Structure 1
Amino acid sequence: MVNIKALDPDSGPEAAYGARLRRVRQERGWKQDDLAIQTGYSSKHISAVETARRSSTLAFSRVLDVVFGLVETAESFEREWRKLRHGLLLEGFPEYVHQERRAVEIRLYEVGVIPGLLQTPEYASTLEAGMVERGAVTQDQADARVELVSQRQASLVRMPPPLVFVVLDESCIRRPVGTRSAVVAQLEALLDFAKKPTTVLQIAPFAMGERRSLTLPITVLTMPDRSLMAYAESSQRGHLDRESSSIVPILTAYHQLQAEALSQSASVAMINEVRKGMT
Structure 2
Amino acid sequence: MNKNELNPDASAEAAYGARLRSLREARGWTQEILAERTEYSSVHISAVENGRKPPTLRFSRSVDVAFGIAGTPESFEREYREIKHGSLLEGFPEYVGYEGRAVEIRLFEIGLIPGLLQTPEYARTVADGDVQRGAIPPEQAEERVSFLVERQAALVRPRPPMVLVVMDESCLRHEVGHAGVMEGQLRRLVEVAALPNWVLQVSPFAIGARRSFNLPVNLLTLADRSVMAYTESQARGHLERETTAVVPMLTAYHQLQAEALSQAESVAMIEQVRKGIS
Q: Is the 8 A contact 1:85 1:141 kept in 2?
A: no
- What amino acid does structure 2 have at the position aligned with 1:192? E
Matched, 1:169 2:197: no
How far apart in 2 are the matches of 1:113 and 1:11?
36
**What corresponds to 1:267 in structure 2?**
266
**What corresponds to 1:203 in structure 2?**
202
- Please give the root-mean-square deviation of Cα atoms over the aligned residues, in Å: 2.7
**What corresponds to 2:106 in structure 1?**
107
How far apart in 2 are the matches of 1:215 and 1:166?
15
Q: CA deviation at 1:129?
A: 0.4
**Equivalent residue of 1:229, what SS?**
strand
* TM-score between both structures, scaled by the size of structure 2: 0.75
How far apart in 1 are the matches of 2:59 and 2:196?
43
**What corresponds to 1:219 in structure 2?**
218
Q: CA deviation at 1:140?
A: 1.1
**What corresponds to 1:253 in structure 2?**
252
- Deviations for 1:14-40, whole angstroms, at most 9, x for unmatched residues? 6758999xxxxxxxxxxxxxxxxxxxx
- What amino acid does structure 1 have at the position aligned with 2:152? Q
Written as runs of structure 1 = structure 2, the 5 A alignment for 1:141-180 is 141-180=140-179
Q: CA deviation at 1:222?
A: 0.3
**Equivalent residue of 1:178, what SS?**
coil
Written as runs of structure 1 = structure 2, the 5 A alignment for 1:116-131 is 116-131=115-130
Q: CA deviation at 1:236?
A: 2.0
How far apart in 2 are the matches of 1:15 and 1:206?
49
In structure 2, do the counterparts of structure 1 residues 163 and 138 end up closer, same or farther at CA, with 3 Å as the change threshold? same
Q: CA deviation at 1:193?
A: 0.9
In structure 2, do the counterparts of structure 1 residues 181 and 247 end up closer, same or farther at CA, with 3 Å as the change threshold? same
How far apart in 2 are the matches of 1:249 and 1:134?
36
Q: Which runs of 4+ in 1 moved over 3 A?
A: 14-20, 70-76, 79-83
**What corresponds to 1:186 in structure 2?**
185
How far apart in 1 are the matches of 2:249 and 2:144?
28
* TM-score between both structures, scaled by the size of structure 1: 0.75
- What amino acid does structure 1 have at the position aligned with 2:197? T
Q: CA deviation at 1:13?
A: 2.4
In structure 2, do the counterparts of structure 1 residues 276 and 19 end up closer, same or farther at CA, with 3 Å as the change threshold? farther
In structure 2, do the counterparts of structure 1 residues 8 and 102 end up closer, same or farther at CA, with 3 Å as the change threshold? same
Q: Is the 8 A contact 2:85 2:143 kept in 1?
A: no
**What corresponds to 2:96 in structure 1?**
97
**What corresponds to 2:28 in structure 1?**
none
In structure 2, do the counterparts of structure 1 residues 168 and 91 end up closer, same or farther at CA, with 3 Å as the change threshold? same
Q: What is the count of residue pairs matched by the alignment?
A: 228
**Equivalent residue of 1:10, what SS?**
coil
